[in-house]
Structure 1
């Protein structure tokens, strides 16, 4: 216990023959053992102290306690106990020799004093002089106990050095109780530093978010694992003001750190409320990545490098295997390695990363890596060094070329049929033309309530005859291939089949794009602060910048937004997006559909004539290509 309530002698060090009589001063209290009288205590400057020859300090003990009196605020008290040796001075000895009165030694009392000092780095020493009267012929040993209230420089966890002034150097050391130790004594009513605000969370599965409930001036930050890095960024501060966390970023290891923003040195509390929420485990599995690379040892031996990253630390095993081109990857015996909690490190994206190496592996055999996770008994892989996706890319390219060739052949053979079908389609509207291209729908990095809108847009475009791929529907493919290879594969479809990549914008997406573009122009790596799961969005920014530098702005990408206020933000669209078409949904749904259809048949132009619609430009196409009934239907479908 670190609590002392006065006036009580029970706290004092166990002195023999101690009298429980307190003498109280402004900030100090003194008690002297039997045989000492007229005890006083006073502050003394640590320089030029006049020492008494009649008494010496033989032993010093000290303790720092928290003194609480009634309902007043608790204060620190430094308690110093000193064992004294009483000497017969020269003057007293002469008086005894010259005295013939045998009773003189029984009544003889002399004035004596000792000075006790203390200091806490880096403060200046402070001293207290204890003065008393004693009969040196009858008292050889005495004890004094000193209580100093609010000692200079003493705070939670301070180191205090105690020493008698004659020593001029510390002979005793004591540590004040820490804030956590004090607050564990249930003294929060008297100690304001013990106050920590609270936060509670409610999982809203229907809204795909977690709602936080806390006081107005409370600061909250996220960290993955109890010893993880506390995430504080401009983007995240927006989340805390709205008091919600997107459900896709919540995992069982997510913890909330809370403190009071009004305090200079606030005490923080940490809670991990999602540990026992089993259905959130899928957010770990859907957002982990495994990459494989090559390395060379000093003796020119080959080795296989592997990199495993996930929002939380996981336990399991990793081993190499040989891919025979079939459906199995045969384990290469003797190389199994363990995934353990102690071997993970957190990267700048706040992902937990585990690096490993398999030495003396023949890389000519194109080895792969398999992963087994204990939690959920999940097996992942194979992840290959010479990505088997090479021949898949080639096969995809050949397949795309074959599709284009067959399509051209069919168009030649059925020219008249296609001509009639196209003519009828043009009369019905822009979206009723012949073959339609491939659409890649990319979500912003802060999708919460917008999940239904993005997926709804993908479903609507698919119902209109487009080939549609939505990044939210392809999480497992992104885990296997990686975000950038997955996006390249989708853009290859766009190149072969026609179409566009559609990037959905929000306010946060604009902020991240601006920050990423500035870092890229400054020579950085363009890794702006972001959610751990926004890699596809960042990959699209990289490709847009590449198109811009090659003079191909707007050929592959266009922008849409469900928030009409996005383009009215200060500064308008970021420079990175200049030259890209932006469509506001659902009001410009007709224009968007017409633009996407135009990519499927570039030679056609849209123009209204006496005989109906003809293809000329997009600007004319959207004006009357859809009836009011069709437009309202599009709007209602996308809002679903």
Structure 2
């Protein structure tokens, strides 16, 4: 009888000999090593686990993997290896004497045993599996065996889950972590795992419309972020203003019912967009004192993207040059910037033990182009510089006034004026007042035209202030205080604020009127739209226009000019803030504009053409020369060269 049953046991052992080759992926499968046969697995209630019979678990190893079979969708599997210590038959060997029969010895040595393995994922309830097997002690090596368990779709286990595995008798937990969804999807399993699906968004730059067009499905959600690790702002529009697009701008898109988001940074290698970073960079400088009463200079930079370069203090001299103060250079590291609530990246620093009597300012050198920005000065230095400029302006105005008086007397100006007035031209020439030229934040190609208009107005005796010439003053004083100070000059000296209209300016005004009725008093745009640091001047002018209209003072302080024929529209089609204002097409209506600014002439507009008949001989044949007109930003030139 013993000789017959022994080959059967050996055959079963050989069948289960492959302890580390995983079989098919059903709900639960078990594989046993040599010495164990007839292995089966069954569910066990965690609270009703019986004592293991004939074997103890010495060591457990486990891992979570993705299991794929045939064409079925892939899923997660929990793989558990348990090393067992077998003690079945020990007591039986001791209780039997040497004169037992062969048949009794065989029955004593071939017996059954079981072990229970449990797992849990917080906060789910534990799940247990009982493995039953038959022991053939004669085939065991030092009474040690191994059991390998495969659990497909284990309860509560998902991507990135923490799983604890433990034998029923042990208090020690084995911790394993399931692979993340991104890790799994990067292994070319996207087609087999439905959660790997990610929607996409495409972007196209429309230079003519000065915007970036986004193409994505209506059901998808999109957000934009500056830098790949920056804060992501929800974005519902399918266009982005081109002046807000920088090389570090990234897009995220996702489906509400899918866990994964796709991220792309399509503008990373577009160097021409770097100018938007520089133009949106702002700086502030202020004085301070250290705890030991030493002096220090604090500086603050903000930009849409993190920048690398150097920053150093410089001494502001009377010649309007800034000479470096040696020994204070600091590095702008990419990793030391922090993002504020306005999604701007901010870098703060301090120069300690510096002599503030030197009137120190700050210069910035950006890496990757050798661009120098600045100097950026504190309000004390700006006030002193402004006082010197005011003195210079007064002196220049006195010289101009004297020269104009001499010229009028020499050419019998009074007689010519009386003659023109009698013919029904400009009925009365007012004093040459103050003119403020305001440009929309997107103006680039027309920058030279604005400079040319400002220079021409100055040559005609007007006091002119151009926002394009006052960038440094706006950064340090603030855009809104700067605009209010200019309108105060208009009130005191007479004159107008002139808004330059472009197609983009009309679009901004339409959008502002439609989306932000509740923000009219604040004078700011949609917080969801990234704004240029200079756009507050333009947006504030829209609020003031609407206030004038409500108070019945439409056109008293503002008028419109455009260099683009496509911008000229019927009065009723203009955005609400611009309705009722005079619109002049330049250069064809230049004489009419000058007459309007001078305070004379008939202001009735008929078909876009004024009836004013004042003759400006000096302007005959005048045209805007855009190709040769240049101005440097940050300066306040007396004219465009």
Q: Same fold per TM (> 0.5)?
A: yes
C-alpha separation between the residues in 2 aligned to 1:526 and 1:273?
26
The Cα of 1:191 is off from its aligned counterpart by 1.3
TM-score relative to the length of structure 1: 0.74
- Answering whether residue 233 of structure 2 is matched by residue 231 of structure 1, we say yes
Query: Which of 131, 150, 163 is residue 147 of structure 1 equivalent to?
Result: 150
C-alpha separation between the residues in 1 aligned to 2:552 and 2:396?
22
Q: How do residues 12-51 of structure 1 correspond to structure 2 at under 5 angstroms?
A: 17-18=17-18, 27-51=27-51
**Partner residue, 1:362:** 355
Taking a change above 3 Å as real, the CA distance of residues 24 and 556 of structure 1, as seen in their structure-2 partners, is: same
- Answering whether residue 151 of structure 2 is matched by residue 156 of structure 1, we say no
Taking a change above 3 Å as real, the CA distance of residues 563 and 128 of structure 1, as seen in their structure-2 partners, is: farther
**Partner residue, 1:64:** 64
Taking a change above 3 Å as real, the CA distance of residues 406 and 424 of structure 1, as seen in their structure-2 partners, is: farther
- Answering whether residue 364 of structure 2 is matched by residue 380 of structure 1, we say no
**Secondary structure in 2 matching 1:389:** helix
The Cα of 1:471 is off from its aligned counterpart by 4.8
- Answering whether residue 127 of structure 2 is matched by residue 126 of structure 1, we say yes
- Answering whether residue 314 of structure 2 is matched by residue 321 of structure 1, we say yes
The Cα of 1:122 is off from its aligned counterpart by 1.6
Encode CA deviations 1:470-516: one digit per residue, 9 max, x unaligned. 65687677568763465457546645351124385523323575454
Q: How do residues 194-209 of structure 1 correspond to structure 2 at under 5 angstroms?
A: 194-209=196-211
- Answering whether residue 253 of structure 2 is matched by residue 259 of structure 1, we say yes
C-alpha separation between the residues in 1 aligned to 2:568 and 2:343?
29
Structure 2 residue ranges without an equivalent (≥5): 1-14, 614-622, 627-641
Most deviating of 525-534 and 461-470: 461-470
- Answering whether residue 386 of structure 2 is matched by residue 390 of structure 1, we say yes
Q: How do residues 69-468 of structure 1 correspond to structure 2 at under 5 angstroms?
A: 69-88=69-88, 92=92, 96=96, 100-108=100-108, 109-135=110-136, 139=140, 140-167=143-170, 169-232=171-234, 236-238=235-237, 241=238, 244-254=239-249, 256-265=250-259, 267-385=260-378, 386-387=381-382, 388-392=384-388, 394-395=390-391, 398=394, 402=398, 414-424=413-423, 426=425, 439-442=435-438, 447=442
C-alpha separation between the residues in 2 aligned to 1:68 and 1:151?
15
The Cα of 1:600 is off from its aligned counterpart by 3.5
The Cα of 1:414 is off from its aligned counterpart by 3.6
**Partner residue, 1:5:** none
Taking a change above 3 Å as real, the CA distance of residues 533 and 511 of structure 1, as seen in their structure-2 partners, is: farther
Encode CA deviations 1:334-381: one digit per residue, 9 max, x unaligned. 211111112212223322222111122232332222222232112222
Taking a change above 3 Å as real, the CA distance of residues 462 and 405 of structure 1, as seen in their structure-2 partners, is: closer
Taking a change above 3 Å as real, the CA distance of residues 96 and 456 of structure 1, as seen in their structure-2 partners, is: farther
Give yes or no for contact 1:23–1:39 (8 Å, CA) kept in 2: no
Aligned residues: CA RMSD = 4.8
C-alpha separation between the residues in 1 aligned to 2:579 and 2:209?
30
Query: Which of 496, 501, 507 is residue 499 of structure 1 equivalent to?
Result: 496
**Secondary structure in 2 matching 1:237:** coil
Taking a change above 3 Å as real, the CA distance of residues 207 and 544 of structure 1, as seen in their structure-2 partners, is: closer
Taking a change above 3 Å as real, the CA distance of residues 293 and 402 of structure 1, as seen in their structure-2 partners, is: same
Taking a change above 3 Å as real, the CA distance of residues 192 and 119 of structure 1, as seen in their structure-2 partners, is: same
Give yes or no for contact 1:179–1:194 (8 Å, CA) kept in 2: yes
Question: How many residue pairs end up in the alignment?
Answer: 575
C-alpha separation between the residues in 2 aligned to 1:292 and 1:488?
22
Taking a change above 3 Å as real, the CA distance of residues 533 and 87 of structure 1, as seen in their structure-2 partners, is: same
The Cα of 1:105 is off from its aligned counterpart by 2.7
Most deviating of 73-82 and 169-178: 169-178
Taking a change above 3 Å as real, the CA distance of residues 558 and 531 of structure 1, as seen in their structure-2 partners, is: farther
**Partner residue, 1:633:** none
The Cα of 1:192 is off from its aligned counterpart by 1.9
TM-score relative to the length of structure 2: 0.74
Give yes or no for contact 1:421–1:434 (8 Å, CA) kept in 2: no
